[in-house]
Amino acid sequence: MRKVAVIGAGMTKFVRRALETPKELSFEATKAALDSCGLRLEDIECVAHGSAPDAFDGVHQKGEYLADGCGGWNKPTMRVFVGGATGVHAIIHGWYHVASGMFDTCLVVCEEKMSNAMPHAQGFFLTIFDHTTERALQPNLLWIFALEKNRYMQRYGYTKEDMALVAVKNKNQGLKHPASQFKDPVTLEDILNSEVMAYPVNRLDVSPVSDGAAAVVLASEKVAKRLTDKPVWVEGVGWSLDTAYWGTRDLYYPRYTEHAARMAYKMAGIREPHKQINIAEPYDPFGYKALHHMEGLLLSPRGKTVQLLRDGYFDMDGNLPMCPSGGLLGVGNPIAAAGMMKICELFWQLRGEAGERQVPGNPKLGVAQAWGDLMQVSSVVVMGS
């Protein structure tokens, strides 16, 4: 496999409801990514595209529908979709295109427009459950993530307040991100006093529904070195899928995340991830998920993560800054685009271009992860400067 670099990144603002169409959002992010590295579409050899359920748009050939906005005209273009994990999975998909030697440049574009779905995108998640054994009970994702969170808390004696600390941290950090859909700081009391949606999940423990797009440009080593002094290398990739019988495995630990992480670390030559990784962008659609994933990523010992969080270990100036972007909780959660936003964040952080969010001390190695479907898939990418 050849070395692959990220050489450019761009994204739209994340907003609750965008005026732009999915195609227009894709264009904005793609153009911004191309501009960031001074390339034009004719310099791009192929397109890797990620977007989550077709049902949000009601256009059931979403990849092809969006392709024009992703720069896909007259090029080898391919879409991936693994639920919430799509945003991080898409760069793995793009990485293969270049690492294989088939292409020297690849655009990776992720888009989501959730506001199309009426009255609320959450209702469409009913259709991801088994039609006979589960759907008749009328579940949604808030329910099952509440089940997972409750099990996780009970297993280690974590409290609702412990879990709410993540939302406070990420939401306030997100205010520094120019693409964030939020304007106001929050306190622990705000989180704990927000509406109880599905105990132990309150409304502000959950990332918002959003519209947005994000994109990066990948290049082979030869091309990357010609175009930039600061390539950010894709050092390792990994992904793993657990069974869709989600009730038949214990939810307190995301085993599949560990499998994906070990695959990525092995490729990156990382033996002690908690010592070697400088920045972590674990997937945080709900506050507890960031901690759950830090354990699955082997970046925090199981059952000790809250203590480390409280001790400031995951602060911007801590040993292992977590979600410097602000994460999905702080920036917004347009599903596939949110995962790609984490990739953009590592790119900017590792180049020292993250502005007021910049993690101090010249971080060299970062990990991004996303998670999806019936609490069963994780995609992990290690990036290094």
Partner 1 sequence: MSNRQYIQGGIGLSEDDIQQGKVFFAEDSLNCRYAWDMGVAIERYLRELKNGRIIAKSCNECRRIMVPPRMFCELCFRPSDDWVFVQDTGVVNTFSICYVNWDASRIKPGETPHLPAVIEIDGASKGMGIMHRLGEVDPKDIKIGMRVKAVWKPAEERTGAITDIKYFKPYQEV
Site for partner 1 in 183-202 (CB under 8 A): 195-201
- Using CB under 8 A as the binding rule, the residues of this chain from 200 to 219 that contact partner 1 are 200-201, 211-213
Applying CB under 8 A, among 101, 123, 185, 301 the residue interacting with partner 1 is 123
Three-state DSSP class for 235? Answer: strand
How near is the Cβ of 268 to partner 1 at its closest, in Å? 24
- Using CB under 8 A as the binding rule, the residues of this chain from 131 to 150 that contact partner 1 are 131-134, 136-140, 142-144, 146-148, 150
Handedness of CA 112, 118, 123, 129 (dihedral sign): negative
- Using CB under 8 A as the binding rule, the residues of this chain from 230 to 249 that contact partner 1 are 243, 245, 247-249
**Residues 375, 253 contacting (CB under 8 angstroms):** no
CA 184 to CA 8: how far, in whole Å?
30
How near is the Cβ of 285 to partner 1 at its closest, in Å? 15
- Using CB under 8 A as the binding rule, the residues of this chain from 330 to 359 that contact partner 1 are 344, 348, 352-355
Three-state DSSP class for 10? Answer: strand
Applying CB under 8 A, among 42, 118, 229, 317 the residue interacting with partner 1 is 118
Calculate ∠ Cα 341-215-125, nearest 5°.
60
How near is the Cβ of 199 to partner 1 at its closest, in Å? 4
Does position 82 bind partner 1 by CB under 8 A? no
Three-state DSSP class for 148? Answer: helix
- Using CB under 8 A as the binding rule, the residues of this chain from 247 to 266 that contact partner 1 are 247-251
Does position 280 bind partner 1 by CB under 8 A? no
Contact string 300-319 vs partner 1 (x = CB under 8 A): --------------------
- Using CB under 8 A as the binding rule, the residues of this chain from 39 to 58 that contact partner 1 are 58
**Residues 71, 47 contacting (CB under 8 angstroms):** yes
Applying CB under 8 A, among 119, 157, 360, 361 the residue interacting with partner 1 is 119
Does position 181 bind partner 1 by CB under 8 A? yes
Q: Which is nearer to partner 1, 166 or 341 (CB)?
A: 341
Q: Which is nearer to partner 1, 216 or 308 (CB)?
A: 216
Q: Which is nearer to partner 1, 60 or 271 (CB)?
A: 60
**Residues 217, 6 contacting (CB under 8 angstroms):** yes
Please, which residues bridge with residue 371 across strands? Answer: 378
Applying CB under 8 A, among 2, 17, 226, 304 the residue interacting with partner 1 is 17
Does position 31 bind partner 1 by CB under 8 A? yes
Q: Which helix (H) or strand (E) holds 213?
A: strand 211-220
Residue with tokens 């630990």: 253
Does position 120 bind partner 1 by CB under 8 A? yes
CA 219 to CA 272: how far, in whole Å?
28
Distances (CA, A) of 144 to 87, 130, 173: 21, 13, 27
Q: Which amino acid is at 258?
A: E
How many residues sit in the footprint of partner 1 (CB under 8 A)?
74
Applying CB under 8 A, among 35, 64, 68, 161 the residue interacting with partner 1 is 35
Name residues whose C-beta falls within 8 Å of residue 243's C-beta, 6 or more positions apart in sequence. 249, 376
The radius of gyration computed from the CA coordinates of the chain, to the nearest angstrom, equals 19
Helix axes 160-174, 287-296, angle to 10 degrees: 100
